[in-house]
Amino acid sequence: MSVKQLLDLTGKVALITGGSRGLGLQMAEALGEMGAKVALTARKQHELDEAEKHLKDQGIEVMTLAADMSDLEGIPAVVDKIAEGLGEIDILVNNAGATWGAPAEDYPAEGWMKVMNLNVNAVFFLTQTVAKKCFIPRKTGKVINIASIAGLSGNPEAMKTIAYNTSKGAVVNFTRALAAEWGHHNINVNALCPGFFPSKMSQGLLDAQGDTMLERIPLNRFGGDEDLKGAAVLLASEAGRHITGQCLAVDGGTLVS
């Protein structure tokens, strides 16, 4: 099989949570360009509408569904609707996430629960549902969890995001544990750990500390609009079929500096 064939996703169905903008939309572009049919979820319908038009203008078959993934009881209906609309899911990208900034000693229970529910609980229960309905019966499936370098290390003192770091650390080990448990089903489970990418979630931090943060990045730049695409396609395709349980930092070298 040629490398082009290994990377080809024609006919595959990819579900990307939090896919209406930012990193989620970037990965949707990449998977769609390689032939996948793309389903996006997000909370805001108008952002989904914009994303749908953007992808359709690129010739990508897309379905959108407004849904709050932290509503755990609604997850089965989301999976059923996508399967009915596009076909059974082949690729799951757990990208939806939240953060909340506060000093650890004063961190509010509301913030902790919000972050953990979306970043950890929703990831598990959505993955479980997709696997039971689509992956395990067919003995095939690709799971890509979007963790963060914040789940692999601490943060500078000024970044008071204890719940976010903890949740992304949980996603890292969730990835490893699930890969070990589901390998016999021929399900690949991996994680991408982005570094600093300008986004709606990170913009305030970058505005306040961007210059200092840039000094910590050996490649001397933040992540851009193309920088997750190749890694996402690799892990979603047959080119990555012998890769599982891995957590790939896409961070310009931040962790090694």
Judged by DSSP in three states, 210 sits in helix
Q: What is the pLDDT of residues 107-158, one digit of tens each?
A: 999 999 999 999 999 999 999 999 999 999 999 999 999 999 999 988 766 6
Average pLDDT over residues 19-25: 96
Which residues form the domain of 228? 3-256
Q: Where residue 184 falls among pLDDT bands split at 50, 70, 90?
A: very high
Rounded-to-integer distance, Cα 241 and Cα 91, Å: 12
Rounded-to-integer distance, Cα 225 and Cα 61, Å: 21
What total of structural domains would you count in the chain?
Answer: 1
Give yes or no: 164 in active site.
Answer: yes
Among 13, 18, 164, 228, which one carries the catalytic annotation?
A: 164
- At residue 205, the pLDDT reads 67
In this structure, what CATH number is given to the domain that contains residue 225? 3.40.50.720
Rounded alpha-carbon distances, angstroms, from residue 251 to 19, 74, 193, 206: 20, 34, 8, 15
Q: What is the pLDDT of residues 25-60, one digit of tens each?
A: 999 999 999 999 999 999 999 999 999 999 999 999
Q: Are the C-beta atoms of 165 and 217 separated by less than 8 Å?
A: no
Structure tokens at 113: 């629960």
- For tokens 């914040």, name the residue: 150
Average pLDDT over residues 11-24: 97
Q: Are the C-beta atoms of 173 and 151 separated by less than 8 Å?
A: no
Checking if the pLDDT of 208 tops 90, the result is: no
Rounded-to-integer distance, Cα 253 and Cα 219, Å: 7
Q: Where residue 21 falls among pLDDT bands split at 50, 70, 90?
A: very high
Rounded-to-integer distance, Cα 101 and Cα 150, Å: 13
Cβ–Cβ contacts within 10 Å for residue 4, how many? 9
Beta strand 247-250 with 13-17 is: unpaired
- At residue 199, the pLDDT reads 74
Q: Are the C-beta atoms of 232 and 144 separated by less than 8 Å?
A: yes
Residue 140: DSSP 8-state? -
Q: What is the pLDDT of residues 74-100, one digit of tens each?
A: 999 999 999 999 999 999 999 999 999
Indicate the helix (H) or strand (E) that contains 143: strand 141-146
- At residue 202, the pLDDT reads 66
What are the phi and psi torsion angles at 218 (to 5°)? -55, -40
Q: What is the pLDDT of residues 212-247, one digit of tens each?
A: 788 889 999 999 999 999 999 999 999 999 999 999
Chain centre to alpha carbon of residue 26:
11
Structure tokens at 114: 């919000």
Residue closest to 92 by CA, chosen among 16, 18, 157: 16
- Across all residues in the chain, what is the average pLDDT? 95
